C-alpha cells in the first residue's frame, strides 16, 4: 500500500508539472527527470469513411472505421540514448469478407532504443521500419495523398513484418556537410525457418539532400511550405533469393510566400524468388504531386501507381491506379481533413475497373 501511495503521489506531481508549467503555444509537454532523462506522450487518430466498389458486381462496400489509433511515448534515458515506443489498433470497425473488426487489439508498432555515438554513427536496436524506400520511411501523418502507396507494402505480409517493421539492429549516420548524405544499414529477423538457422534479412537506405537536411526516424511528406527539400534516394531489402530494390526522387519546395509545390517519383523492383513465392517478380511505380495553398490551408493532390508483373502467369494482375483529392489543414498536421478518389484499372480484360472514395479525419499530438 505504501508503494501504491508513493506511485500515486509521483504521478500526481508529474501531472501538476505538466499542467502548471508555462510553455509556448507550440511547445511539447515534456516530463523532465534530470538533464539526461526525459519522456513525453502522444496520440494519433485517423478515422475513415470509405466507399469501395466491387469488381464482381459493381456495388459499393461502405465502411466507417478507425484506420489508425496510436499511443506514442518517446524520450531519453541517458546522454545520447533515446527511445521510441508506439502502439496501434488499426482498421478498428472495418468489415472484411463479412466480418467486422470489433476488437483488433493494440499491437506494438515501434519499440526501439537509439545510441548516438556520433552524427556519423548511430546504433538502433528493436522493432523499427525496414529501410527499403522513402515512402515506407515517411510519417503516416504527412503523406502528400491519403495514405501509404500499396506499391510500398507488397513485401509487408510475405516477409512477416509488423506494419512494415521488423526486429533487428541498424547503423545509421549523417555524412557530408553536416548531414547532406544519410545512410541506414540494418540486419533484421525476416522470415525464419523451423530451426531459425537460415540467413537473416538485410536492408539498407541511402539519401542525398541537395538543400535542407532531413534527420530523424521518419521523414515528412509535405512540409506545408516550411522547408526546402530535394533529395534522391535508394534502398534494398534482401533475404536468401528474395530481393527488393528502390529508387526515388522527392521534393518539397516553398513557393509564393508560404505555398509549397511537392511530389515524389518512386520505383520498386520486387522478386520473391523461390524463398518467398507469394511475391511475384514485378516493377512498381508511384508518382505523387501536390500544391499547398497557404492562405486557404488546402492542398490538392494527384497520384498515379502501376504494378507490372514479369511472368505471363502473373500478367492478369497488372494494374494502374489513378487518384486525386484535397487536404484541408485546420491546424497543420494536428488536425486535418482529407478526401480522395481512386480509380483502379486492371489491364486484364476479364477484370472490371473500380472506384474508391475515402474521407479521413486526422488528430495528432506528440
Nearest to 200 by CA among 209, 192, 211, 208: 192
Condensed to tens digits (0 to 9), the pLDDT of residues 183-201 reads 999 999 999 988 889 999 9
Condensed to tens digits (0 to 9), the pLDDT of residues 172-183 reads 999 999 999 999
Cβ neighbors of 115 (< 8 A, separation 6 or more) are 80, 81, 122, 123, 124
Say how far apart CA 34 and CA 54 lie, in whole Å. Answer: 57
CB atoms within 10 A of CB 27: 9
CA dihedral over 51, 154, 135, 81, signed as positive or negative:
positive
| Inter-residue contact 200 to 192 (CB < 8 Å) | no
| Inter-residue contact 188 to 166 (CB < 8 Å) | yes
* pLDDT-wise least confident of 5-19, 249-263, 349-363: 5-19
Say how far apart CA 200 and CA 197 lie, in whole Å. Answer: 9
Say how far apart CA 183 and CA 205 lie, in whole Å. Answer: 6
CB atoms within 10 A of CB 136: 27
Nearest to 109 by CA among 93, 85, 130: 85
| Inter-residue contact 86 to 364 (CB < 8 Å) | no
- pLDDT at residue 3 above 80? no
- pLDDT at residue 106 above 80? yes
| Inter-residue contact 265 to 287 (CB < 8 Å) | yes
Say how far apart CA 163 and CA 208 lie, in whole Å. Answer: 26
- pLDDT at residue 149 above 80? yes
Q: What is the pLDDT of residue 11?
A: 41
Condensed to tens digits (0 to 9), the pLDDT of residues 219-265 reads 999 999 999 999 999 999 999 999 999 999 999 999 999 999 999 99
Query: Could you give the percent of the chain with pLDDT greater than 70?
Result: 92
Say how far apart CA 145 and CA 287 lie, in whole Å. Answer: 11
Q: Greater confidence, 22 or 96? A: 96
Domains of the chain with bracketed CATH: 28-365 (2.40.160.10)
- Model confidence at 102, pLDDT cuts 50, 70, 90, reads confident
Q: What is the pLDDT of residue 349?
A: 83
> How confident is the model over 274-302, as a mean pLDDT?
98
- Model confidence at 27, pLDDT cuts 50, 70, 90, reads low
Amino acid at each position: 500500500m505504501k508503494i501504491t501511495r508513493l506511485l500515486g503521489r509521483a504521478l500526481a506531481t508529474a501531472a501538476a508539472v505538466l499542467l502548471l508549467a508555462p510553455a509556448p503555444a507550440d511547445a511539447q509537454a515534456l516530463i523532465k527527470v534530470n538533464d539526461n532523462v526525459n519522456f513525453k506522450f502522444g496520440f494519433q487518430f485517423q478515422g475513415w469513411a470509405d466507399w469501395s466498389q466491387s469488381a464482381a458486381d459493381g456495388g459499393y462496400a461502405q465502411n466507417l472505421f478507425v484506420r489508425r489509433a496510436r499511443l506514442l511515448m518517446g524520450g531519453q534515458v541517458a546522454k545520447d540514448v533515446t527511445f521510441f515506443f508506439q502502439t496501434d489498433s488499426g482498421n478498428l470497425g472495418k468489415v472484411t469478407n463479412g466480418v467486422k473488426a470489433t476488437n483488433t487489439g493494440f499491437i506494438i508498432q515501434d519499440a526501439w532504443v537509439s545510441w548516438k555515438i556520433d552524427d556519423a554513427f548511430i546504433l538502433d536496436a528493436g522493432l523499427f521500419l525496414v529501410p527499403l524506400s522513402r515512402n515506407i520511411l515517411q510519417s503516416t501523418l504527412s503523406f502528400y495523398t491519403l495514405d501509404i502507396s500499396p506499391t510500398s507494402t507488397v513485401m509487408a505480409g510475405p516477409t512477416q513484418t509488423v506494419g512494415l517493421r521488423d526486429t533487428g539492429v541498424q547503423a545509421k549516420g549523417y555524412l557530408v556537410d553536416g548531414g547532406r548524405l544519410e545512410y541506414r544499414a540494418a540486419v533484421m529477423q525476416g522470415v525464419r525457418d523451423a530451426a531459425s538457422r537460415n540467413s537473416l534479412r538485410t536492408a539498407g537506405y541511402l539519401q542525398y539532400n541537395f538543400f535542407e537536411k532531413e534527420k530523424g526516424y521518419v521523414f515528412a511528406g509535405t512540409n506545408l511550405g516550411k522547408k526546402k527539400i530535394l533529395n534522391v534516394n535508394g534502398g534494398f531489402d534482401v533475404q536468401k533469393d528474395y530481393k527488393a530494390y528502390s529508387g526515388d526522387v522527392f521534393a518539397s519546395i516553398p513557393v509564393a510566400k508560404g505555398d509549397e509545390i511537392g511530389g515524389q517519383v518512386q520505383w520498386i523492383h520486387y522478386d520473391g524468388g523461390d524463398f518467398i513465392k507469394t511475391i511475384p517478380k514485378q516493377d512498381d511505380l508511384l508518382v505523387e504531386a501536390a500544391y499547398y495553398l497557404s492562405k486557404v490551408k488546402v492542398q490538392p493532390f494527384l497520384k498515379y501507381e502501376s504494378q507490372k508483373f514479369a511472368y505471363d502467369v502473373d500478367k492478369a494482375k497488372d494494374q494502374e491506379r489513378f487518384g486525386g483529392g484535397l487536404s484541408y489543414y485546420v491546424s497543420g498536421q494536428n488536425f486535418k481533413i482529407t478526401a480522395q478518389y481512386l480509380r483502379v484499372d486492371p489491364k486484364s480484360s476479364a477484370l472490371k475497373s473500380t472506384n474508391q472514395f475515402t474521407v479521413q479525419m486526422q488528430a495528432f499530438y506528440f
